[in-house]
């Protein structure tokens, strides 16, 4: 893509309404545009990044055997009355009426709807276990939407639902999802801590929040840094190993301020291993057994032909929140650098150009074509502007690699730079190799 053609409305001014880095940066680089309080349009740059995150989430759901589907955003109030949550959910739920006067709502979550889908089609234990998920917009009428896409009214969420015959089986599904979350956040280059959590309005007795470390997070965190030594890839993908993995996590101290006790922290964690910081919740998983299946009559025949309520869990990841959260976690010294797995481009080519000298631009175009042939997604900065402005702009956009075509490039050797590190002069062949890896 040529930068001059890209719809990327970069602004020079610092948006006054934005209090934190990610919000400022997303507005400045034209990733999003607010349409009303807590509701945003996603412009091409922001949308491209969000879609890459979504794809990683999807692949890691599929790899544990979860199946993708799509439920609507608008739901009927009937099923929420059945579960008893229609009145309980309160003002966060956006309630609407259709022209026949039917009570509808914009879904804040989908436990009821998926239970309704499930009860009408599955009758026997033989079809279990099942994990279904979708990636869909949600609406919660947050009282104080803030921090841009991190706490907004309309947001994009992956929500999965597991169905099992017994509590024991259901915990196996829970552990698989726990594992899938760790893999997902690893691929996004994030350090995520799973923390035992309160279950809130979703209900149930087993729950973990996945929190990433960032100074601007909403919750305070106290943890033993050894928690980052546990690598999900070291565990086999079978029920026993995954159970062991979750136990290994649970043994290591990590709490939010509600559960924090100074004595415990000092007792269980060596001074040099203590980390005290803030965090952003990017995922939340729940096991709530028959909380919805019982009132909604979602029954399964067990092995003896006896009817029993199916045992369910639900598992959310804030896909749109992750875009902001990753910026908060990665932004450093006024430079943004996207993890390679979700960077909007693989590399940006920055030629030094002037009115009378287009030679560097022609070189850049040739390189651009070469990279394209190799499926390397390059951005070419063909805008006629001085180099120092260009560099400032690319520090904001955060493409992790740069090919700079200016005074330092000789013949077919160019300046190649990874953001936040020193540049080197390399041949195009070597550059291609580096980018391929």
Residues 268-327 that bind Mg ion (CB under 5 A): 284
- Please report whether residue 107 would count as binding ligand ATP according to CB under 6 A: no
Distance CA(56)–CA(61), nearest Å, equals: 9
Contact 350, 382 (CB under 8 A): no
Minimum distance from residue 8 beta carbon to ligand ATP (Å): 23
Minimum distance from residue 204 beta carbon to Mg ion (Å): 12
Q: Which residue has the tokens 């006067």?
A: 101
Chosen from ligand ATP, Mg ion, none, partner binding at 142 (C-beta under 5 to 8 Å by type): ligand ATP
Residues 34-63 that bind ligand ATP (CB under 6 A): none
Minimum distance from residue 152 beta carbon to ligand ATP (Å): 5
Q: Are strands 347-351 and 401-405 parallel, antiparallel or unpaired?
A: parallel
Using CB under 6 A, pick the residue from 23, 85, 119, 140 that binds ligand ATP: 140
The 203-242 contact track toward ligand ATP, x by CB under 6 A, reads ----------------------------------------
Chosen from ligand ATP, Mg ion, none, partner binding at 321 (C-beta under 5 to 8 Å by type): ligand ATP
Helix-helix angle 239-251:167-187, to 10 degrees: 70
Cα–Cα nearest to 195, from 267, 287, 279, 288: 279
Cα distances (Å, whole numbers) of residue 301 to 117, 309, 366, 392: 17, 9, 66, 64
- Please report whether residue 141 would count as binding ligand ATP according to CB under 6 A: no
Tokens for 62?
């599929």
Question: Measured in whole angstroms, how far is the alpha carbon of residue 24 from the centre of its chain?
Answer: 19
- Please report whether residue 351 would count as binding ligand ATP according to CB under 6 A: no
Which H or E run includes 196?
A: strand 192-196
Chosen from Mg ion, ligand ATP, none, partner binding at 140 (C-beta under 5 to 8 Å by type): ligand ATP
Nearer to ligand ATP (CB atom), residue 13 or residue 258: 258
Q: What is the largest CA-CA distance in the chain?
A: 85
Using CB under 6 A, pick the residue from 246, 321, 393, 394 that binds ligand ATP: 321
- Please report whether residue 176 would count as binding ligand ATP according to CB under 6 A: no
Chosen from ligand ATP, Mg ion, none, partner binding at 157 (C-beta under 5 to 8 Å by type): ligand ATP
Minimum distance from residue 257 beta carbon to ligand ATP (Å): 14
Nearer to Mg ion (CB atom), residue 281 or residue 381: 281
Residues 109-128 that bind ligand ATP (CB under 6 A): 109
* Cβ-Cβ contacts under 8 Å for 292 (sequence gap 6 or more): 83, 111, 112, 115, 298, 312
Distance CA(177)–CA(316), nearest Å, equals: 10
Minimum distance from residue 195 beta carbon to Mg ion (Å): 10
Cα–Cα nearest to 343, from 435, 430, 208: 435
3-class secondary-structure state, position 268: helix
- Please report whether residue 138 would count as binding Mg ion according to CB under 5 A: no
Please name every residue paired with 307 in a beta bridge, in sequence order, or none if there are none. Answer: 301
Distance from the first to the final alpha carbon of the chain:
21
Please name every residue paired with 277 in a beta bridge, in sequence order, or none if there are none. Answer: 221
- Please report whether residue 23 would count as binding ligand ATP according to CB under 6 A: no
The site for ligand ATP, by CB under 6 A, has a size of 15
Residues 273-302 that bind ligand ATP (CB under 6 A): 281-284
The site for Mg ion, by CB under 5 A, has a size of 1
Using CB under 6 A, pick the residue from 141, 142, 273, 395 that binds ligand ATP: 142
Find the DSSP H helices in 298-405. Answer: 319-330, 359-373, 387-397
The residues that touch Mg ion, with contacts defined as CB under 5 A, are 284
The residues that touch ligand ATP, with contacts defined as CB under 6 A, are 109, 140, 142, 151-152, 155, 157, 200, 281-284, 316, 318, 321
């Amino acid at each position: 893509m040529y930068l001059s053609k890209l719809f990327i409305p970069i602004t020079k001014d610092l948006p006054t309404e934005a209090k934190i880095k990610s919000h400022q940066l997303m507005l400045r680089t034209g990733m999003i545009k607010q349409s009303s309080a807590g509701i945003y349009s996603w412009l091409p740059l922001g949308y491209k990044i969000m879609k890459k995150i979504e794809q990683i989430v999807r692949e890691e759901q599929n790899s544990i055997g979860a199946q993708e589907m799509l439920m609507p955003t608008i739901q009927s109030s009937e099923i929420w009355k059945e579960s008893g949550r229609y009145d309980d959910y309160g003002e966060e739920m956006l309630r609407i009426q259709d022209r026949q006067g039917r009570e509808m709502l914009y879904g804040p979550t989908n436990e009821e709807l998926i239970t309704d889908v499930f009860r009408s089609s599955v009758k026997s234990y033989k079809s279990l276990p099942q994990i279904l998920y979708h990636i869909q917009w949600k609406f919660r009428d947050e009282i104080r939407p803030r921090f841009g896409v991190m706490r907004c009214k309309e947001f994009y969420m992956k929500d999965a639902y597991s169905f099992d015959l017994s509590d024991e089986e259901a915990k196996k599904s829970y552990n698989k999802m726990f594992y899938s979350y760790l893999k997902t956040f690893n691929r996004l280059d994030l350090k995520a801590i799973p923390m035992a959590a309160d279950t809130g309005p979703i209900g149930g007795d087993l729950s973990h929040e996945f929190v990433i470390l960032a100074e601007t997070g909403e919750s305070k965190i106290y943890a033993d840094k050894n928690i980052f030594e546990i690598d999900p890839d070291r565990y086999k993908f079978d029920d026993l190993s995954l159970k062991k993995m979750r136990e290994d996590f649970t043994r290591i101290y990590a709490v939010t301020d509600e559960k924090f006790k100074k004595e415990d922290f000092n007792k269980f964690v060596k001074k040099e291993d203590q980390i005290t910081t803030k965090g952003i919740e990017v995922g939340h998983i729940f096991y709530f057994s028959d909380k919805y299946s019982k009132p909604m009559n979602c029954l399964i025949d067990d092995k003896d032909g006896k009817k029993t309520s199916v045992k369910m869990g639900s598992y959310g990841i804030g896909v749109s929140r992750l875009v902001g959260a990753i910026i908060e976690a990665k932004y450093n010294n006024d430079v943004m650098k996207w993890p390679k797995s979700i960077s909007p481009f693989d590399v940006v080519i920055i030629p030094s150009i002037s009115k009378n000298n287009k030679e560097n631009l022609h070189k850049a175009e040739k390189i651009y074509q070469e990279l394209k042939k190799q499926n390397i997604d390059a951005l070419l900065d063909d805008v006629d502007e001085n180099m120092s402005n260009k560099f400032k702009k690319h520090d904001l956009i955060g493409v992790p690699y740069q090919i700079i075509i200016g005074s330092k490039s000789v013949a077919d050797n160019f300046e190649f730079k990874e953001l936040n590190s020193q540049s080197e002069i390399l041949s195009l062949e070597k550059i291609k190799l580096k980018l391929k890896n």
